[in-house]
Structure 1
Amino acid sequence: MKLLIAIFVALYATSCLAGARADTPNIVLIVADHMGASDIGPYGATDVETPSLDTMAAQGVRFTNFNSAAPICGPSRAAMMTGRYPARIGFEDNIDHDGGLSAEIPTVPALLKPKGYKSGLFGKWHLGHAEGTDPLSHGFDEFFGYDEWSINYYTHRNDSGKESLVHNGRIVEREGYLTDILTDESIRFMEEHRGDPFFLYLSYNTALPPYLGPNLPPDRWDAEFNIGTATRADYIAMVEAMDAGIGRVLESLENLGLAENTLVLFTYDHNGRNLVRNAPYSGGFAMLKEGGTRVPLIMRWPQRLPAGETLRRDGIGMDLAATVLNAAGIELGPIELDGRDLIHAPDSDGERTFFWRISLGDFGQAAVRRGKWKLLVHRFSTFSKPTIYLYDLEADPGESMDLYHQKQAFADSLHRELIEWEASVATRDPAA
């Protein structure tokens, strides 16, 4: 009799937990760095094997018109965490050692707290070194990783030779390949919080320099942070090691009985250059060509999303915050996001308009996209008049044929919208 009562109590508790958790799914956001747009299997890779991401795409949805909010790390990641344009929150450049994302600006982990979420970041932050700008100040309960642009995969030192692997603000020494360590720590976090709703941000530094694959002998660990001697094979080994780590994370969700009610998202912060393949797009890192900003997005959530679908729905980095928060049932109140929920927005929800801006010293770029049309503006500090290009991305995804003079009136109207957007973000309170 006692045994029957114990079984009943356990089953009742499990059912209550399942009911309480129905509107609080676990969320796993996996972000790669500086990779090629076509360097994973679901997006046409021919010389890179990514069986884990192939499986994830087969079990979920794959977006073909998703864009990073910026072609460089910091602004793109700030958009993911805040749901706002980088320009609106004053975060358009990669930060130096004194800057960072103010804790006054609401972020995903901070907004998830009222729902009881435990949040952990494992890997790259790159949104601030200073007090009040670190992950723990933004609602993360645990941070194991680094706040540099990249660190060595074996020595865990930055490009100045400084030890840079930290756990909750303290330097830690850990032997092993960084990709594997971040995977191990992520799995440990999920195991520890299997009874809580959790937000796991797994931010691999794959595939940033130094280009070091797994299982290298110690005499190869101190590679320089450049690409002078790196090969495509080095890059491929790094990507395939990351894919193996993603496979372990997905397997752990299954083993923990959490896979059905876990939303898993995979994307890049931006595309790379040099050793990567961005075809059919042109350009790459730090450029507003499609090769800099058109990135993969795969989402899997067995309870809510269909399997094996490809979506042409337009999306941008800020949408990740909106999607995650809406999935968790977060009421934003007066907080306004620039992003839109990608799961519940219908394909017929109207044409969206996206804006970008980046400054590279004496040269800057800005862009606006609406549907298939993209306006690209080159600005030079020594010239008062910008150079303007118009592309039809459906017919010309490589942006090789400028149609500005054929459709000048339409192009000029898009340019005016870009200027109006720039004026609007300049006057908004970033903490509002």
Structure 2
Amino acid sequence: MRFRRWAVNVLAAVWAVSGSMSHLSASPPRKPNILLIVADDLGYADLGFQGGADIPTPAIDSLAAGGVRFTNGYVSGPYCSPTRAGLLTGRYQQRFGHEFNPGGNRAGGNRGGGNRPGPNFSGKGLPLEETTFANRFKDAGYVTGLVGKWHLGGGPEYHPFKRGFDEFFGFLGGAHTYFDKDNAEILRGTEKLTEPTYLTQAFGREAVSFIERHKQEPFLLYLAFNAVHTPMEAEDSELDKFDEIKNETRKTYAAMLSSMDDAIGKVLSKLKDAGLEEETLIFFISDNGGPTMQGTTINGSNNAPLRGSKRTTLEGGIRVPFVVQWKGKLPAGSVYNHPVIQLDFQPTALAAAGVTVDPSWKLDGTNLLPFLDGSQKGIPHETLYWRLGDQNAIRHGEWKLVQYDLNVENYPTTGVSTRKLFHLPTDLNESHDLSEKYPEKVKELESLWQEWNKQLAKPL
């Protein structure tokens, strides 16, 4: 009897353990973390993996080495706030009127006429009717954080806390000093604070802290540097690394970029130390091209071999360094040559998180994962579109039809160009207008752009 009771107890224990193990094996896998890193006004040619040679960027280069580099990566606007509005919503920002920067920044001329200021909606921001990726990931059980530049509205109703973010450290406007000065407006949440650390390094520190505090749960971290946007301010320790660069603006730019790369390196090291390298889907882009307008360069950036600048619809304004890394899931060190756009971030990240996109969201982006892992043939986008006031462009296959700010050619010439046609694979610099040679191609692309344009809202 005593043996039988012992045997029954042993079997019960075995069944309990077995049931417990079965329960563990059936538990769903952890959802991947999402890390979106955005640089500001970065030159197309200024990273090592983009061919840059005078500014070491080992951390950012490691993302390309461990992930997928896109040679035709675009953003939906050629400057800051509109691109971010498209990024956060996954929709062309022109659909809801967020076509210009808040505050009346100049945006190009009247169609066929002279330059004019963009509409001024100072104090406004990303329309409240729009849903952000932070909203969607919060609904999916993620903790959400923003570190860095917001530029989507300074009023309380536009604060990141009201747009789906659980945590915020950074500034609300479009530019900010990198040092603690009288005009510094750094916030933690809604509280202003004094930040003595060089701002780029402070953003890296806060991103590392966010990962440490939330490493046990799925998180979305939007790390939006203001580097290498003006003002041109760098630490002496970084400047000393670039004494061989004689142009002072370029030297300061190099120091600022080096500091951002160092901060990104600390974030990537934190992911590795926390065992989250293969659990984190990482995106890296610039918000637009470098500001090389009027034959000069405002921040020392280099857009070669592209023609054009930030604030123009030429390739130099809208084609950017673009990388996606998900170790163990996407092929490391690969290159993808078909056009993609920052609007693809949201559907790609949602797919990774197992969230089904509702057609009522009307996203313009595409889930890139099946194209990158080889499970889907074809291309993500046959056609991409741009509109910034009277500047506009369409890329359809290998062809681009563009109307751009004439300041890029002969300052102080005003207005916009006529429509020009370029075959990008053979003319990346957009130097040879083929509109007269291929009038039917012009007509085809013009018709496609006009159909898209009919869907858009008036700029706010």
Q: How does the TM-score come out when normalised to structure 1? A: 0.87
User: Do 1:102 and 1:132's aligned partners in 2 also have CA atoms closer than 8 Å?
Assistant: no
In the TM superposition, structure 1's runs of 4+ consecutive aligned residues that sit over 4 Å from their partners are: 15-19, 383-386
Aligned mates of 1:336, 1:246 — CA distance in 2 = 33
Question: Quick one: distance in 2 between partners of 1:170 and 1:379?
Answer: 40
Amino acid at match of 2:433: D
Taking a change above 3 Å as real, the CA distance of residues 35 and 143 of structure 1, as seen in their structure-2 partners, is: same
- Structure 1 residues 61-70 or 93-102, which shifts more? 93-102
Asked if residue 258 in structure 1 is aligned to residue 290 in structure 2, the reply is no
Separation in 1 of the partners of 2:60 and 2:404?
36
Match of 1:395 in 2: 426
Say which SS state the counterpart of residue 54 (structure 2) adopts: coil
Task: Call closer, same or farther: CA 1:272–1:299 in 2, change over 3 Å.
Answer: same
- Where does residue 207 of structure 1 map in the other structure? 228
- Write the distance in 2 (CA, Å) between the matches of 1:149 and 1:35: 15
Q: Deviations over 1:271-319 (max 9, x none)?
A: 1121111111011110011011110111111131111101102101211
Query: Is the 1:379–1:387 contact (alpha carbons within 8 Å) kept by the matching residues of 2?
Result: no
Per-residue CA deviations over 1:115-143 (Å, capped at 9, x if unaligned) read 21001000001011112212111100011
Please name the residue that 1:25 is paired with.
32
Q: Distance in 1 between matches of 2:361 and 2:457?
A: 18
Out of 433, 447, 452, the residue aligned to residue 421 of structure 1 is: 452
Matched, 1:371 2:397: yes
Q: Which of 286-295 and 386-395 deviates more?
A: 386-395
Aligned partners of 1:256 and 1:351: how far apart in 2?
36
Contact 1:59 1:308 in 2 (8 A): yes
Q: Distance in 2 between matches of 1:88 and 1:16?
A: 46
- The 1:379–1:151 alpha-carbon spacing in structure 2 relative to 1, beyond 3 Å, is closer
Give, in angstroms, the shift of residue 412 of structure 1. Answer: 1.4
> Are residues 1:354 and 2:384 paired?
yes
Specify the SS of the correspondent of 1:232. helix
1:178 to 190, 199, 213: 199
The 8 Å contact of residues 339 and 380 in structure 2, kept in 1 or not, is answered as no
Q: 1:315 to 1:291 in 2, by over 3 A?
A: same
Stretch of structure 1 that moved more, 397-406 or 296-305: 296-305
2:74 aligned to 67, 71, 75, which one? 67
Q: Residue 213 of structure 1: CA displacement?
A: 1.8
AA in 1 matched with 2:350: L
- The yes-or-no answer on 1:100 pairing with 2:99 is no
SS in 1 for 2:428: coil
Higher alpha-carbon Rg: 2
Instruction: With the length of structure 2 as denominator, give the TM-score of the two structures.
Output: 0.82
Distance 2:78 2:25 in 1: 42
SS state at 1:132 partner: helix
Measured after TM superposition, the shift of residue 171 of structure 1 is 0.8
Gaps of 5+ in 1: 218-228
Aligned equivalent of 1:223: none
CA distance in 2, matches of 1:172, 1:21: 39
- Measure the CA separation in 2 of the matches of 1:18 and 1:303: 22
Q: How many residues were matched structurally?
A: 398
Q: Is the 8 A contact 1:211 1:230 kept in 2?
A: no
Q: What is the alpha-carbon distance in structure 1 between the residues aligned to residue 69 and residue 212 of structure 2?
A: 28
RMSD: 2.6
Change (3 A) 1:246 1:18: farther
Give the deviation of 1:385 after TM superposition. Answer: 11
- Per-residue CA deviation, residues 148-171 of structure 1 (Å, 9 max, x unaligned), is 11111112x5xxx53311111111
Aligned partner of residue 325 in structure 1, secondary structure? helix
Q: Give the aligned residue type for 2:251.
A: A
Cα displacement string for residues 340-365 of structure 1 (whole angstroms, at most 9, x for unaligned residues) = 11222345237510110112xxxx21
1:166-210 superposed Cα distances (whole Å, 9 cap, x missing partner) = 111111112111011001111111111111100000101110111
Gaps of 5+ in 2: 1-12, 104-121, 239-246, 292-296, 407-413
Cα distance, 1:114 vs structure 2: 2.2
Tell whether the 8 Å contact from 2:47 to 2:57 is kept in structure 1 after alignment.
yes
Map of 2:172 onto structure 1: 147
Say which of 336, 354, 357 aligns to 1:311. Answer: 336
Structure with a larger share of its residues in helix: 2
Provide the rounded CA distance (Å) in 2 between the counterparts of 1:170 and 1:57: 37
1:331, CA displacement in angstroms? 2.2
Pairing 1:7-406 to 2, within 5 Å after superposition: 16=24, 19-22=27-30, 24-96=31-103, 97-155=122-180, 162-215=183-236, 230-273=248-291, 274=297, 275-333=300-358, 334-345=360-371, 346=376, 348-349=378-379, 352-359=382-389, 364-378=390-404, 387-406=418-437
What is the distance in 2 between the residues matched to 1:295 and 1:18? Answer: 42
